[in-house]
Structure 1
Amino acid sequence: MKGLDRITFDPNIMGGKPCIRGTRVTVGAILGLLASGTNKKEILELYPYLEEEDIDQALAFAAWKVEEIEIYDPKIKEVA
């Protein structure tokens, strides 16, 4: 998504999960902390190398991601 320059994907870091600026901090980790009641200030204390904009972009990425539409095609079989 355009404008999310702090969200990176690297198959060699956390298995390619979306991370914050190439660190091992995943978007999911940030969202989990926020969902459990941790505020931005506390997250920045836990991860002093992050910036407030990193958290904002993690939220923006998550909002964009949940709005994606997946189309089911019965001809395509998932590999288990």
Structure 2
Amino acid sequence: MAEERVVADHRVMGGVPCIAGTRVPVATVVGLVAQGRTANEIVADYPQLTLDDVRAALEFAASAVAERQLPLRTPA
């Protein structure tokens, strides 16, 4: 689903991944979720988004992180 709803176009927001047809970056949606906002609250604040758009943003972000090896610190 994320492949259809998230686009990175150099002509829109400098190529930052955004929800298709909007100028709302995936990072904005993820940041709002991290702040404790619900998907319904995000859609209320950004009426151009749908609940599926919010899910797609989270799916895209999860996939992006999963593709990288992140160094984890082990407790001393």
Q: The TM-score by the shorter chain falls in which range?
A: 0.7 to 0.9
Larger-gyration structure (1/2):
1
Bigger share in helix:
2
Could you say what the CA RMSD is over the residues aligned between the two structures, in angstroms?
1.5
Q: With a CA cutoff of 8 Å and minimum separation of 6, indicate the structure with the bigger relative contact order.
A: 2
Contact 2:2 2:57 in 1 (8 A): no
Contact 1:9 1:22 in 2 (8 A): no
Q: TM-score, normalised by structure 2?
A: 0.83
- The percentage of aligned residue pairs carrying the same residue is 43
Q: TM-score, normalised by structure 1?
A: 0.79
The number of equivalent residue pairs is 69
TM superposition outliers: structure 1 runs of 4+ over 3 Å: none
Runs of 5+ in structure 2 lacking a partner?
A: 70-76
Runs of 5+ in structure 1 lacking a partner?
A: 71-80
